[in-house]
Copies of this chain bind each other. A is one copy, B any other.
Amino acid sequence: MITMAKKKKDAPITGITVSKEEDFSAWYTEVLTKCELADIRYNIKGFVCYLPWATITIKKMYQKYEELLEKNGHLPLIMPSLIPERNFHLEADHVEGFAPEVFWVTEAGSSGLLSERLALRPTSETALYMMYSYWIRSYNDLPFKRYQSCQVWRYEGKMTRPFFRGREFHWIEAHNVFASEEEAMQQVYQDMEMTYQMIQEEFCIPIIFFQRPKWDKFAGSVNSYAADALMGSGKVLQLPSTHYLGQNFSKPFNVKFVDKDGEEKYGYITCYGPAISRIYGAMIAYLGDDKGLVLPFDLAPIQVVIVPILVKGKENFVIEKCQEIYDLFKDEYRTKLDDSENSPGSKFYQWEMKGVPIRIEVGPKDVEKDQAVVVKRHDGTKSFLPLKNLKNSVKKIANNFTIELKKSKLLDFEEQIEPCHELDSAREALEAGKIVCCGFCSIEEEGERCAETIEKDLGGFVRGKRVDDDKHKFASCINCGKPASCTVYIAKSY
């Protein structure tokens, strides 16, 4: 199952043996397997089992995201996961976009065929907005902000990869209704703000938001805004996207409200879909190194591991000291005292591989010197810390862990960007693992042919126009030479 090509020298066979830089795919597969994150042997194509080490972190990510959504006025609900086929047909673009990806329930129990096909939700617009037409009556009900944490199913044609892309994945979807376009767009901006707060600040993955070209927007939206994360080797991965749906759904689904002026009006809708399982995949891929996982402090299933270094005849007082240290931290952090029979060296490898942020080593000499050795996972730095003040010192390290990790990992996206004026230089830049920025005729429908040419010739995708200010300006489209209406970014993608 693991491609054994390009082994690192001197790595123990139990640790990660492939270099991430040399062969990302093999590295990722090895991390999934050896860190026990996912099992791809489940017997339906594109469906995988999420193992405990991944599940614990994913649950913590959900918790953080849900807290932020609730802080920003969203209430949780739980919707049925099946959607009647007739609901889908109410919005033409939506059904066209999702039809190729829907799993259909057609039979049930011994009674056989159902009278109507039921979709496993690929996304919940067509389930929710029908209910919104009951729930929203007047301007007093607006803004109406709801979210649910759930899984969705999509019959993906593209190659699947655990967490990155699967036929069942786990996300949050927020669906909001407003009285005006302006308020709705404010929500879109808040969604982007929340994305930065979570993806960059909490999960340590750098992103840029793009307004997607018209041909690449969400099926049924007016405009879509999506974050791209640079995953190394020049490839980007789409992380959360937020969509301004305007009245495209409120009209067919009859989502109306009586306004202050007594008139009935259609609501303006936005939706936002952070895919937690995909963000988890991006996080382990982006933060990990050749030793294995690196995790933000809050998200690690075990945050502090204590490894006794035993020397014959002196086992007892080392173990005793380790137990004391364990008691010091067990209520504050998820702490483990690894008193298994493995050698200290193999314990180091094991817990480094699993991404435990802080390791505390204690040997007989340390006990004599009243000290402990504390090692930070993300940069490997080692400190010899007096036991007397250990609690405070470790607390400081814990508090700074994610800040330091972020600092080292939120490399300037800008450095990865190469402004190009011609297709040839763009091709070279893409091959060198860069993101190309260039002039482009239009991200409205009329630009699609240029984008198709670029995809065919360069293997790169037009990701859209930056949402923040763009300092790069170009006079003409890199492909057709017509006057440029905007600056776009081209990248290979997962």
Q: Which residues of A contact B (CB under 8 A)?
A: 39, 41-44, 47-52, 55-56, 58-59, 75-82, 84, 86-87, 99-111, 117-118, 120, 127, 130-131, 134-135, 146, 151, 153, 155, 157, 168, 170
Interface of A is mostly: mixed
Smallest distance from the beta carbon of A20 to chain B beta carbons, Å? 25
Interface pairs A-B: 5 shortest CB-CB: A52-B75, A47-B80, A50-B78, A109-B155, A104-B107
Counting chain B CB atoms within 10 Å of each CB, which of A39, A52, A59 scores highest? A52
The residue on B at minimum CB distance from A42 is B80
User: Is there contact, CB below 8 Å, between B168 and A131?
Assistant: no
The number of times this chain is found in the oligomer is: 2
Residues in B whose Cβ lies below 8 Å from that of A52: 75-77, 146
Q: State whether A44 touches B151 (Cβ < 8 A).
A: no
Sample of 13 A–B contacts (CB below 8 Å): A39-B134, A39-B135, A44-B82, A49-B131, A50-B77, A58-B78, A81-B151, A81-B168, A104-B108, A105-B120, A107-B117, A108-B155, A109-B157
Q: Are B102 and A105 in contact (CB under 8 A)?
A: no
Which of these, B44, B51, B55, B86, contacts A80 with CB under 8 Å?
B44
For A39, give the chain B residue with the smallest CB separation: B131
Expressed in whole angstroms, the Cα–Cα distance for A105 and B134 within the complex equals 30
7 new A-B contacts, CB < 8 A, other than A41-B134, A109-B155, are A41-B131, A51-B77, A81-B153, A82-B168, A99-B110, A100-B109, A104-B107
Least Cβ distance of A181 to chain B in Å?
Answer: 26
A36 to chain B, nearest CB (A): 9
Shortest Cβ distance from residue A168 to the other chain B in the assembled complex, whole angstroms: 6
Question: From A157, which residue of chain B is reached at the shortest CB distance?
Answer: B109
When the two chains form the complex, which single residue of B77, B102, B106, B110 contacts A100, counting CB atoms closer than 8 Å?
B110
Report whether A55 and B82 are in contact in the complex, using a CB–CB cutoff of 8 Å: no
Is there contact, CB below 8 Å, between B108 and A105?
Answer: no
Residues of chain B with a CB closer than 8 A to A108's CB: 102-104, 155
Cα–Cα, bound, A81→B166 (Å): 13
Q: Would A109 and B99 be within 8 Å (CB), given that A50-B78, A52-B146, A77-B51 are in contact? A: yes
Please, which residues of chain B bring their CB within 8 A of the CB of A109? 99-103, 155, 157
Q: Which residues of chain B are near A86, meaning CB under 8 Å?
A: 43
In the bound complex, what is the Cα–Cα distance between A130 and B44 (angstroms)?
12
A344 to chain B, nearest CB (A): 20
Assess A49 versus B79: contact at CB under 8 Å? Given A39-B134, A41-B134, A84-B44. Answer: yes
User: Are the CB atoms of B106 and A107 closer together than 8 Å?
Assistant: yes
CA of A105 to CA of B127, assembled, Å: 19
